[in-house]
Amino acid sequence: MLVLQSIVLGLLLGGLYALLAAGLTLYFGIMRVVMIAHSAFLILAAYLAWWMHDRFGLDPLLSMVVTVPLFFAAGVALQRLLLTRLRPATLTMMSVLLTFAIALGVEGLLGYAFTGTQRRIQLGYGSASLELFGARIAVVKLIAFVLAAVALTSLYVLMKRTRFGWALRATIQHRDAARLLGIDTERVAGYGFGIGLATAAIGGTALSLDTTIYPSLHWHWIGPLMAIIVVGGLGSVPGAAAAAMVLGMAQSLLQIPMGTTWAQTVFYVALFATLAFRPQGFFGGRLAQRF
Amino acid sequence: MPINHFRSTAAALGSATILALTGCSGDGSGGGENTSDPIVVGISLPLTGDFSEPGKGVQEGYEAWAKVVNDKGGLLGRQVELKILDDQSNADRVVADYEQLIGKDQVDLVVGPFSTRLVVPSARVAEEYDMLFVEPAGAAKEVFEQGFKNLFYAAPAVANDHYNHLAEHILALPPDQRPKTAAYAAMDDPFAQGTAYGLKEKLEAGGVKTVVNEVYPPNTTDFSGIAAKVAAAKADVLVGGSQYQDGVNLIVALQQLGYQPKLAAFSTAPTNPEFAKAIGNKTEGILSPTGYSQDAPYESNKEFVEKFKAQFGKEPEEDQANGYTTGQVVAAAVTAVGCAEQGECQKKLVDWLHSNKVDTVVGPLSWDATGKPQGAHMIQQWVGNDIKIVLPSDVKEAEFVYPKPAW
């Protein structure tokens, strides 16, 4: 009974993790950028969803109509105006510093605009649930899972089936060769970064459905998300999704015998194991062949 | 280092003066001072830095107390004057502040700063100078393990005693109604855990079986796993040792799993003004201990709330009440003993407080030898769309609802 419930919860949790980590792995794939501020943007999107619900009574899902384009534009601007200015030789290192500063900036602005008071969107269906073979599935968690499935499938189709996706993958795989083929890699990288940040808008909305938010919450998320993308193979969205599902499920099931504190360490154990035995990640291939 | 040299000279002079004063009042009966001099109360507070928010709250409480006392003609016919220094939430600063207040400025009385971290070092200074030290914050048990003899915590209870009224009430239920099992989920934090484990100890001793005992780190983001364990155990009683967001997240996660306990108690979260906004109308029957309520029917509380609103244009919260309570405790001792100065008088004030009960805005207070308050917190319960005092019965605003309605 408890095991079945935990499996269901683990699946739902894994889906949420996959959505939240998707953008993070994309940035690294496209640009070798470690985006510490990703989770800060998740919280920003969650705050915008809360604010629109609080102010205009808008359902958080509708807030995506505004936040997704907004975040896409912000992502393009961020890449074109700031990240391209970093020297390629030290890009990965310096991007940590730059995005760390951005994370602090976002956190500070959230505190300034909305105060440090902890908020939660109060939804009529917030505690509603469906029953399946005796296990309960919370409606909000199911919505978040569906959001994750739709967003990740769209991303996959975009990458695999569209000309833009081919260009983006070419840029990920070999930037110089892509440029020789006439791809405007700068522009493509900008849009790629925009897409990454747009997933943060969707992820933040999913998060806001079932979490109490506060400006510094993003620090609690960035660690597990980083672990997921390393285990999944940096730059591979399907890899990150698979790693997220496995780790979410492991966390949920390990909680039964080990308790919350130890169950959380599964992320870091997986991270160490990956770095020690398979640094390229367990789910992605070699970096050049990802996607 | 001329400045330091000057300071230590001043401190030495200060202690010499204390010795001289002690000598003098030793001879006389100790009652004959100038009634036109104000009684100066020295305080160091974190007005900037980490604790500036609660620090300012306590300051307002002290100021409200001084005004109320002075409007009534002062203490022993003398006006009360507060001398407040800013310690910047810094433990080194707070020590220097109290040495200056006692040694150089020769204040008549001192009262405590805010937070355990600052209370312990400052209490040590007060102890060195044999000054009475009543403090508004420092509920952690470490405060009472230092061997202080002059310290008094001016609040109803330390964390482990918050739920005492609830434990008594549960164990006094007839055996067929009494809950059989209990689940505990507490944040890994001395205060939050202290509240839950205080109740756990008493319920276990009373025969209520513990079926789940989860501790989660402060950075926990997912509460559905803990909720699944609690729900699967179907415990009668649910106790959450929570701060704010963890309590709210856990309650919602439990509701999603359809768990309906007979009794649910959470520390801190349910008394937060945001609580009902977060959970909506599903708060029914949730319990929480509280150190202060504006609605508590203690005699001086009505006066406090009224005068505080007139002075500051807002309702007093727990920090303000703690500062005010501290003032009340000192005032009661001063009035009863009939003196307020450094020297032998301080010992008399300490002795008086050790053997007497003081009526305050948080109820009657008394202390053990370590200065630990002997009371318990009031228990509030969500009834309708408001949180009301239900225990102890002499101050209740509403009947205790048990078993709690479904949420």
Domain harbouring B333, CATH code: 3.40.50.2300
For residue A213, give the DSSP letter.
B
Residues of B in contact with A210 (CB under 8 A): 252
Report in angstroms the alpha-carbon separations of A240 from A26, A29, A103, A158, A243.
10, 12, 22, 17, 5
Of A122, A214, A251, the CB nearest to B245: A214
Q: Is A35 on the interface with B (CB under 8 A)?
A: no
**Who contacts B269 (Cβ-Cβ below 8 Å, separation ≥6)?**
B240, B242, B243, B244, B246, B247, B248, B251, B275, B288
Q: Is the pLDDT of residue B22 over 60?
A: no
Q: Is B248 on the interface with A (CB under 8 A)?
A: yes
State the residue for tokens 């059989």: B180
Q: Is the pLDDT of residue B250 over 50?
A: yes
Residue B103 domain boundaries: 2-157+299-365
Q: Is B260 on the interface with A (CB under 8 A)?
A: no
Q: Is A278 on the interface with B (CB under 8 A)?
A: no
Is residue B407 in a domain? no
Does residue A199 come out as left (phi exceeding 0), alpha (psi in the -120 to 50 range) or beta? alpha
Q: Is the pLDDT of residue B142 over 90?
A: no
B331/B279 same-domain check: no
In chain A, what are the domains? 2-289 (1.10.3470)
Q: Is the pLDDT of residue B2 over 50?
A: no
Residues of A in contact with B253 (CB under 8 A): 138
Pick from B53, B184, B215, B222 the residue to mutate for testing the A interface (most A CBs within 10 Å).
B222
Q: Is A15 on the interface with B (CB under 8 A)?
A: no
B192/B273 same-domain check: yes
Is residue B370 in a domain? no
Q: For residue B230, what pLDDT is reported?
A: 95
Q: For residue B7, what pLDDT is reported?
A: 47
Q: Is the pLDDT of residue B82 over 80?
A: yes
| CA B106 to the chain's CA centroid | 28
Of A5, A118, A260, the CB nearest to B274: A118
CA distance A262 to chain B (A): 9
Q: For residue B28, what pLDDT is reported?
A: 36
> What number of C-beta contacts closer than 8 Å exist between A and B?
97
CA distance A155 to chain B (A): 26
What are the CB-based long-range contacts (under 8 Å, 24+) for B100-104? B101/B42, B101/B43, B101/B44, B102/B14, B102/B42, B102/B126, B102/B129, B102/B131, B102/B342, B103/B10, B103/B11, B103/B13, B103/B14, B103/B15, B103/B18, B103/B129, B104/B10, B104/B11, B104/B14
B38/B184 same-domain check: no
Residue A252's φ and ψ, nearest 5 degrees, are -65, -40
Is residue B404 in a domain? no
Q: Is the pLDDT of residue B298 over 60?
A: yes
Counting runs of H as helices and runs of E as strands, what totals does chain B give? 12, 14
In angstroms, the CA A218 to CA A215 distance is: 7
Of A138, A212, A256, the CB nearest to B249: A212
Tokens of B308: 């505080």
B151/B170 same-domain check: no
CA distance A176 to chain B (A): 41
Interfacial B residues in 176-215 facing A (CB < 8 Å): 188, 214-215
Q: What is the pLDDT of residues B56-80, one digit of tens each?
A: 889 999 999 999 999 999 999 999 9
Residues of A in contact with B229 (CB under 8 A): 2, 255-256
Tokens of A179: 């440029």
B281/B328 same-domain check: no
Of A2, A211, A260, the CB nearest to B232: A2
**Predicted ipTM?**
0.90
B227/B324 same-domain check: no
* Cβ pair B277:A120 closer than 8 A: yes
Q: For residue B382, what pLDDT is reported?
A: 94
Q: Is B282 on the interface with A (CB under 8 A)?
A: yes
* Cβ pair B245:A259 closer than 8 A: no
Q: Is B252 on the interface with A (CB under 8 A)?
A: yes
Q: Is the pLDDT of residue B140 over 90?
A: no
Is residue B405 in a domain? no
* Cβ pair A119:B278 closer than 8 A: yes
In angstroms, the CA B371 to CA B380 distance is: 26
Q: Is A256 on the interface with B (CB under 8 A)?
A: yes
Q: How many domains does chain B have?
A: 2
For residue B103, give the DSSP letter.
I
Residue B170, H or E segment: helix B164-171
B118/B143 same-domain check: yes
Let me know the angle formed at the C-alpha of A40 by A38 and A41, rounded to the nearest 5 degrees. Answer: 65
Q: Using alpha carbons, select from A239, A225, A228 the residue that is nearest to residue A287.
A: A239
* Cβ pair B282:A127 closer than 8 A: yes
Q: Is the pLDDT of residue B18 over 70?
A: no
**Who contacts B281 (Cβ-Cβ below 8 Å, separation ≥6)?**
B385
B320/B208 same-domain check: no
CA distance A147 to chain B (A): 18
CA distance B386 to chain A (A): 17
Q: Is A127 on the interface with B (CB under 8 A)?
A: yes
Q: Is A261 on the interface with B (CB under 8 A)?
A: yes
B172/B261 same-domain check: yes
For B231, name the nearest residue in chain A, comparing CA atoms only. A2
| CA B261 to the chain's CA centroid | 30
Mean pLDDT over the full length of chain B: 88
Which residues, in sequence order, are bridge partners of residue B240?
A: B185, B266
Q: For residue A233, what pLDDT is reported?
A: 86
Q: Is A11 on the interface with B (CB under 8 A)?
A: no
Name the more confident of B26 and A87: A87
Q: Is the pLDDT of residue B26 over 80?
A: no
**Who contacts A93 (Cβ-Cβ below 8 Å, separation ≥6)?**
none
Is residue B403 in a domain? no
For B246, name the nearest residue in chain A, comparing CA atoms only. A212
Q: Is A1 on the interface with B (CB under 8 A)?
A: yes
Q: For residue A284, what pLDDT is reported?
A: 62
Report in angstroms the alpha-carbon separations of A87 from A83, A92, B28, B254.
9, 9, 82, 50
pTM beyond 0.90, yes or no: no
Of B222, B229, B256, the CB nearest to A138: B256
Q: Please, where are the H alpha helices in chain A?
A: 2-31, 38-56, 64-81, 91-114, 139-161, 163-173, 175-180, 185-208, 218-231, 237-258, 260-264, 266-277
Q: What is the DSSP string of B69-84?
A: HHHTT-BTTB-EEEEE
B131/B236 same-domain check: no
Of A13, A140, A214, the CB nearest to B222: A13
Tokens of B79: 């006006």
CA distance A135 to chain B (A): 8
Query: Low-confidence residues of chain A, pLDDT below 70?
Result: 284-291
* Cβ pair A260:B217 closer than 8 A: yes
Is residue B72 in a domain? yes
Pick from A4, A11, A51, A122 the residue to mutate for testing the B interface (most B CBs within 10 Å).
A122
Q: Is A208 on the interface with B (CB under 8 A)?
A: no
Residues of A in contact with B252 (CB under 8 A): 120, 126-127, 210
Which residues, in sequence order, are bridge partners of residue B85?
A: B44
* Cβ pair B256:A129 closer than 8 A: yes
**Who contacts B313 (Cβ-Cβ below 8 Å, separation ≥6)?**
none
B34/B145 same-domain check: yes
Residues of A in contact with B216 (CB under 8 A): 260-261
B247/B282 same-domain check: yes
Average pLDDT rounded to a whole number, residues B148-173: 92
